[in-house]
Amino acid sequence: MFARTLLLITYDEHGGLYDHRPPPGGVPAPSGGRGLIGTILHLLWHRKARRFDFTMLGPRVPAVLVSPLIEPGTLVDTEHDHASVPSTLRALFAPQARPLTSRDAWAPPFHQIATRTVPRTDLPDLSAYVRAAAPAAAPAPPPAGDLGEIPEYYRDFIRQSDQVLSRLRKLGEPEMAAVTAPGGIGRARQTTSAFQQAAHRHRSDPA
């Protein structure tokens, strides 16, 4: 699977750091430009503001592409945009689909950087940096009142249900008296039913 993988690592913002290159302009606005109504509203409400129509990109942010289909040491100087993400997805998985906006129609995709036809096999051995797996803890016993074994992930829901039951009993919710199962899945089901009845009563009678 890794032989066909293209991992993109990028940032949402530039972090406020200085960049000697000004943001490029003259790119398509995502909306494709203002219509007549938008132009009139802009003239009425932004007469004193400097015009900004989203045809300028922001400061540069770093991006790293990881794939065995990229030549080692590759540096890319093509201007990409965050809209290059949907542009890449469309090019790979829905080439017949229309662009979402004018911006992602313009944005260059990333997959064109993966130029190799045969994946590289010179990956470094990082096993020395992997921590040894901790010994597995002994599984907790199933909650009382259950026959047989239940999945470990389900026991967390049962414990949470018992916490809800204990809290509602302290609050004096009368529906909780119907919860009589000794524990486990049976008590969790009864607690869920009683909780639903109590919630319905509160919604019907706020007093």
Angle in degrees, CA 34, 37, 38, rounded to 5: 40
Over residues 189-205, the pLDDT tens digits come to 899 999 999 888 888 77
pLDDT at residue 86 in the model: 94
Higher-confidence residue: 152 or 72?
Answer: 72
Start-to-end CA distance of the chain, whole Å, equals 59
CB neighbours of 3 closer than 8 A, spacing ≥ 6?
68, 69, 119
Give yes or no for residue 51 having a pLDDT over 70. no
pLDDT at residue 118 in the model: 93
Over residues 105-155, the pLDDT tens digits come to 999 999 999 999 999 988 888 888 888 777 776 666 655 556 556 777 778
Position 166 confidence tier, pLDDT thresholds 50, 70, 90: very high
Over residues 4-45, the pLDDT tens digits come to 899 999 988 888 888 888 888 888 888 765 667 766 766 666
Among 131, 5, 155, 145, smallest CA distance to 67 is for 5
- Spell out where the chain has E strands: 7-10, 63-66
State the DSSP H helix or E strand holding residue 152, giving kind and residue range, or none if neither: helix 152-170
**Residues 121 and 141: beta-carbon distance below 8 Å:** no
**Residues 59 and 19: beta-carbon distance below 8 Å:** yes
Among 161, 197, 198, 205, smallest CA distance to 181 is for 161
- pTM for the full model? 0.53
